[in-house]
Structure 1
Amino acid sequence: MFSEERRKRIIDYLMKHNRATVKELAEILNVSTVTLRSDLNYLESEGLVQRTHGGATLIESRPDFPSMTSFSVREKTNQAEKQAIGRVAADMVNTGQCIILDASSTCLEMARVLVTQQKRLTILTNGIMTAMELRENPQFTVILIGGILRMGSVGLEGNLGTHILNELNVDIMFTSARGFVYHDGLTDFNVYEVELKKAMAASAQKLVALLDHSKLGRISIASFAAPEDIDTIITDSGAAEEDILKLRELGIEVIVA
Structure 2
Amino acid sequence: MLAPERRNRIMQILNEHKQLLVKDVSLELGVSEGTLRNDLKILEEDGLLERTHGGAVLPKPHTPEYTFQSRSLTNQEEKKMIGKAAAKLVQNGQCLILDASSTSLELARHLVHYDYLTVITNGLATAQELTRNPHISVIVVGGVLRPGSSSLEGLLGKGLLGQIHADVFFTSAHGFTVTAGLSDFSIYEAELKKTMISNVSKVVALLDHSKLNRRSIASFAETSQIDTIITDPGADREFLDELEGVEIIIAD
Normalising by structure 1, report the TM-score: 0.90
- Specify the alignment match of 1:20 in structure 2: 20
Deviation at residue 21 of structure 1 after TM alignment? 3.2
* Shift in CA distance, 176/168, structure 1 to aligned 2, threshold 3 Å: same
Partner of residue 246, structure 2: 252
Q: 2:160, 2:62 → 1: CA distance? A: 34
Distance 2:16 2:109 in 1: 35
Deviates more, 1:195-204 or 1:123-132: 195-204
Structure-to-structure mapping, 1:1-257, within 5 angstroms: 1-53=1-53, 55-63=54-62, 66-67=65-66, 70-117=67-114, 119-247=115-243, 250-257=244-251
Q: Give the RMSD, CA atoms, in angstroms.
A: 1.8
Unaligned runs of 5+ in 1: none
1:114, distance to aligned residue in structure 2 (A): 0.5
Structure 1 distance, partners of 2:44, 2:142, is 34
- CA change 1:217–1:65 in 2 (3 A) is farther
Post-superposition shift, 1:38? 3.2
More off after superposition, 86-95 vs 44-53: 44-53
More moved, 94-103 vs 15-24? 15-24
Distance in 2 separating the partners of 1:220 and 1:199: 19
- Between the aligned residues of both structures, percent identity stands at 51
Change (3 A) 1:122 1:244: same
Paired residue total: 251
Distance apart, 1:59 and its partner CA: 4.2
- Give the AA of the match of 1:223: S
Aligned equivalents of 2:116, 2:63: Cα separation in 1: 36
TM norm structure 2:
0.92
Range with bigger deviation, 147-156 or 70-79: 70-79
CA distance in 2: counterparts of 1:162 and 1:93, whole angstroms: 24
Q: Deviations over 1:35-60 (max 9, x none)?
A: 3233233223333334445x321241
In structure 2, list runs of 5 or more residues that go unmatched. Answer: none
